[in-house]
Chain A
């Protein structure tokens, strides 16, 4: 079940505003790739392109899976989820007036995941014990960190092959950021997930990433094949380390 995501020469934006300019990235099977960049550089737009929420004006977005090449620009968001790509959206976007458990069960909506419900639910409760304790509580009444954990767990309920995480650290206290990031790594190792994570918190993201892209004004400005290479890069020093 080898699956990788290929984004090739994509132009995308909102109306007259172009956000991504001939942007190309690749996320290979089993990798954790970080997409680094400060606010407004196009990280979220790129993730939305992969999910079919924003349609590219030019270029290709492909899921290569078991030898097949699937053109994601022709698929609806629902179909893309059905292919085993899950997204943890920025701002979490839980269903605030549903309980924790109802949120999790909705995560298993896609037919391919319904058979795994018992196993996935047990795993989520084991990975995030706080969710088991609060399973009957309304999602909107939990703290930000708990909500972020629920958002990650809900995405995992769909038994994804590829997990896209958009800004998991926004609005969280530093200690919670570490915990959420560490959990994503743990889950990735156990589920053999392929992960693409957009993040502006350089230090946290590089803790778990195998590789990283730095995106500036909608273009990939640097591609680091290892974390050492990344830390020595001038752009990183300029944008993230204040050097």
Chain B
């Protein structure tokens, strides 16, 4: 059953998948890793982004990924609004740990059910010139519908890394959960900083949703497949580390791809939980945790 060709194909596909996984997980690294907000609804916003891209693609024939990019300001505003509600209802009163989790869990179901009611539970897919094509690289076939999301995922990772390390807002986002009072003494309002960061996290989720629908058709409940993945990647990468998120995403992508190739696709979902358990047991701070 084993062949080197199969292995090479699986590894290449896994790396490409990893670039996409990084895009899906960046928002969690930001909100869970840096803000300490357990946004379990993150994958639902990913799927919301998928359906937004699908809607524009099926109605107007717009390119799904371009649509995803154009819609990021809208999702940024949505994310900022969600954080404001979360802050006013839970965080300000110090009730975020349990009730906040329930809030996001509820949000996940509301989004999922709303999508089901609007679009039904059939698989939805998009059309774009690069879907269905593949190119040959040294005997390994590479699907272009994986290559484009991979490239966009890398670009998103780089952009977020530069934003966090080079800008005043970015550095404040990295500092906000370490010492809120100290941040105020720097002249920054912690609630405003967290609102901005949360908005960016949701905007990243929506763009990664456009990548998702390019790779494979989606249904409203696809978000459930990603809850384990995104949190496994954020923890393995070292909470809050953007470079670590990319490395962890590629590790997970390759592991899943190998598992699917040699043991069957039904095992691949178990990989993320296996990695999560392993990371928590062996190195709870993750690969690049500070």
B122 to chain A, nearest CB (A): 46
Q: Contacts A102-B174, A106-B175 given: A95-B182 contact, CB under 8 Å?
A: yes
**Contact among A89, A98, A158 with B187 in the assembled complex (CB-CB below 8 Å):** A158
Cβ contact within 8 Å between B175 and A98: yes
| Candidate in B186, B188, B189 with the most chain A CB atoms within 10 angstroms | B186
A35 within 8 A of B: no
Q: Contacts A81-B187, A109-B187, A138-B290 given: A93-B181 contact, CB under 8 Å?
A: yes
Cβ contact within 8 Å between A106 and B189: no
**Contact among A78, A93, A95, A107 with B189 in the assembled complex (CB-CB below 8 Å):** A78
Identify the B interface with A (CB < 8 A).
Answer: 168, 171-172, 174-175, 178-179, 181-189, 290
Q: Report the separation of the CA atoms of residues A78 and B189 in the bound assembly, to the nearest whole angstrom.
A: 6
Q: Can you list 28 A-B pairs with a CB-CB distance of less than 8 A?
A: A53-B184, A77-B184, A78-B184, A81-B184, A81-B186, A81-B187, A82-B187, A86-B185, A89-B185, A93-B179, A93-B181, A94-B182, A95-B174, A95-B182, A97-B178, A98-B171, A98-B174, A98-B178, A105-B168, A106-B171, A106-B172, A106-B186, A106-B188, A109-B171, A109-B186, A109-B187, A114-B168, A158-B186
Question: Secondary structure at chain B's binding surface: helix, strand, loop or mixed?
Answer: helix
A121 to chain B, nearest CB (A): 14
Cβ contact within 8 Å between B179 and A95: yes
Cβ contact within 8 Å between B178 and A110: no
**Residues of chain B with a CB closer than 8 A to A110's CB:** 186-187
Q: Report the separation of the CA atoms of residues A21 and B178 in the bound assembly, to the nearest whole angstrom.
A: 34
**Contact among A51, A89, A95 with B178 in the assembled complex (CB-CB below 8 Å):** A95
**Residues of chain B with a CB closer than 8 A to A86's CB:** 185
Q: Report the separation of the CA atoms of residues A154 and B175 in the bound assembly, to the nearest whole angstrom.
A: 14
Please tell me the number of chain A residues within 8 Å of chain B, measured between CB atoms.
27
A23 within 8 A of B: no
**Residues of chain B with a CB closer than 8 A to A94's CB:** 179, 182
**Contact among A53, A76, A107 with B186 in the assembled complex (CB-CB below 8 Å):** A107
Q: Report the separation of the CA atoms of residues A109 and B189 in the bound assembly, to the nearest whole angstrom.
A: 11
Q: Report the separation of the CA atoms of residues A98 and B173 in the bound assembly, to the nearest whole angstrom.
A: 11
Q: Which residue of the partner chain B has the closest CB to A53?
A: B181
A110 to chain B, nearest CB (A): 4
Q: Which residue of the partner chain A has the closest CB to B178?
A: A95
